Structure 1
């Protein structure tokens, strides 16, 4: 067993032995040594400053070693020569620089990665043997311009991705809309009404209406329906207090209207979306609730002979809102 382990390390050392004292292999071994010392420090003394310093030096040596090792490595694809070294080195640099900021600014490493990689790739263009500074020739300057323009485009796309994720986190109802006219966004899944927060608002409003009207007399029900606007406004406040806070909550408006005559009324609850939409005026969701009177078996002397019973239909699909109606709703 010991002999096998010895042979393994001998083969490993033969394969990765630095050809000279200053080489990329030396930097890789220095990074492993630094991380090993950092781990040993955490086990023995747990000195946070020393541990962080050694870990930082490990990342520093690793980044330099990988960049050096891949400096001349290239991949030919469709007649193009691709040098992945700067991009890998840039990824390691971003990981090293922004490790402590990843939770607070998750987009920063990704947005910075193409720009830092382009800067790393540009350094050899300005150096010659010595090393001495030089001005790139016309072809080199053209390559640098193309390189940085491509890097800026990639950074913009990464930034756009995280911007969309933030929007969807604050305004999840956007997913219920259509993206077929968007020039940048493609929704791989079919839009679902259930993605709209209006569904939750209407379902909670339904439960509150049932609690307030179920079992009431016809006179009490008609009084409630006569003041439907103020009642629905109170229900809207209750619903917003019950649901979790999101930025899009202020963009929802709950409305109600009554149609029909005694003893059968229809209460139309509408959740109106006033946020960004593929429709010019936005859209709304509707849940009609039928209010009927049911006889009471063996009612007490002072009780009404009939009481209200409520039955609500499923929520409608997204209904486009007329722009004129939308502006009046907003005002």
Structure 2
């Protein structure tokens, strides 16, 4: 047991306290010391050039020490050395401290390029910082790495661009990505993300509140001015959407058809004219039926012997089917 503890302590001490000062541990300790001194200087004199210089030295020592350790221990990921990529990540983390927090994506997009620069430096400079020309196989290898880094940076940038679009235009999340070559959906399309659902629900509530339990002659007069009423209501509703950038891409349309039984069929349509998987966009439809209901018992205001006017009843379907293209209104 004592031998085991002695062996364990010997391994730990040799790992943290190397016999030679020319080791990666020395750089790590110099980095920790620089970070500590920078915090002491910050607490005493505040922010300034001295604090930044000391902290920068700590980042340099820490990055070199980590890279030295990973390269010495032959750490590989799928056969690729990870030391320069980790050093590049540390460098990006350092530079992100000089940028606003919302711009952290720039650090991630530049990480592959900075990592390739770290890989290329030993090929173009000697230990005495004298420039040299790498042999053709090394140059070919560096060119391939640069192209791969550019591809990774472009993919990172494309991902963040898509996320910004989805945040600014959440209705895009309700679209169909089955034919997309680069966007893969892991769940069913969230149709409720489409702000057209909000428009149709608000229109249903407005029409129900305006026509339900009202005399039938009033309903017929109200439907004559349906387009003007709908335009005013749609303007107020679209302006109140949580994603104002979509305001110009949604519009509300409707038309009414008289049925043989005396009822009216209202087709409410929220039309999306923004980016879509179909050529001419799409529209969502909600169908409402306005029916006349005969009043059996007359009200006290009804004159004697007079038949009370029928009252309106509004019923709307729950489904909001999606149709590609633009609606053809008659």
Which TM bucket (shorter chain)?
Answer: 0.7 to 0.9
CA pair 103-129 structure 1, distance change in 2 beyond 3 A: closer
Corresponding residue for 2:28?
28
Map of 2:63 onto structure 1: 63
How far is 1:294 from its partner?
2.8
* Contact 2:34/2:55 (8 A) holds in 1: yes
Q: Give yes or no for the alignment of 1:312 onto 2:316.
A: yes
The residue number in structure 2 matching 1:223 is 221
- Please, which moves more after superposition, 266-275 or 256-265? 256-265
Q: Displacement, 1:149?
A: 0.5
5+ residue gaps, structure 2? 1-7
What is the SS of the residue equivalent to 2:265? strand
The residue aligned with 1:251 is 249
1:5-36 superposed Cα distances (whole Å, 9 cap, x missing partner): xxx99975542225444543222112222333
- 1:219 Cα deviation after fit: 2.0
Whether the aligned pair in 2 keeps the contact of 1:299 and 1:305 (CA below 8 Å) is: no
Cα distance change, pair 103–76 in 1 and its aligned pair in 2 (3 A):
closer
Give the match for residue 182 of structure 1. Answer: 180
Aligned to 1:3: none
Give the distance between the partners of 1:302 and 1:62, measured in 2 at CA: 91
2:321 counterpart SS class: coil
Query: Matches of 1:136 and 1:53 in 2, distance apart?
Result: 33
Q: What's 1:104 paired with?
A: 102
- How many matched pairs? 315
CA contact (8 A) 1:276 1:282 kept: yes
Indicate if the aligned counterparts of 1:102 and 1:109 stay in contact, CA closer than 8 A: no
**Structure 1 residue 161: Cα displacement:** 0.7
Q: Is the 8 A contact 1:193 1:318 kept in 2?
A: no
2:276 pairs with 1:272? no
Partner of residue 211, structure 1: 209
1:4 maps to: none
Instruction: Confirm or deny: 8 A CA contact 1:271 1:285 kept in the other structure.
Output: yes
* Residue 321, structure 1, aligned to residue 321, structure 2: no
2:28 & 2:76 partners in 1: Cα distance? 27
**8 Å contact kept, 1:74–1:82:** no
Moved more, 8-17 or 252-261: 8-17
Which shifted more, 31-40 or 205-214? 31-40
More moved, 223-232 vs 302-311: 302-311
| Equivalent in 120, 123, 132 of residue 122 of structure 1 | 120
Partner of 1:95: 93
Moved more, 65-74 or 168-177: 65-74
Residues 268 and 288 of structure 1 are in contact (CA less than 8 Å); yes or no, is this contact kept in structure 2?
Answer: yes
TM-superposed CA distance for 1:73, in Å, is 4.9
Moved more, 212-221 or 67-76: 67-76
Residues 52 and 128 of structure 1: CA distance in aligned 2, closer, same or farther (over 3 Å): closer
TM-score, normalisation: structure 2:
0.85
* Paired position in structure 1 for 2:142: 144
Q: Distance in 2 between matches of 1:38 and 1:221?
A: 77
**Residue deviations 1:240-282 (CA, integer Å, cap 9, x gap):** 2332133223111100100115741111110011111111111
Q: For residues 76 and 106 of structure 1, do their structure 2 counterparts lie closer, same or farther at Cα, with a shift above 3 Å needed?
A: closer
Structure 1 unaligned blocks of 5 or more: 1-7
Q: Deviations over 1:139-195 (max 9, x none)?
A: 111011101001001111111111111111112212222112111111121223223
Shift in Å at residue 128 of structure 1? 2.9
CA contact (8 A) 1:214 1:308 kept: yes
Task: Tell me by how many angstroms 1:307 deviates.
Answer: 2.4
TM-score, structure 1 normalization: 0.84
Aligned-residue CA RMSD (Å): 2.8
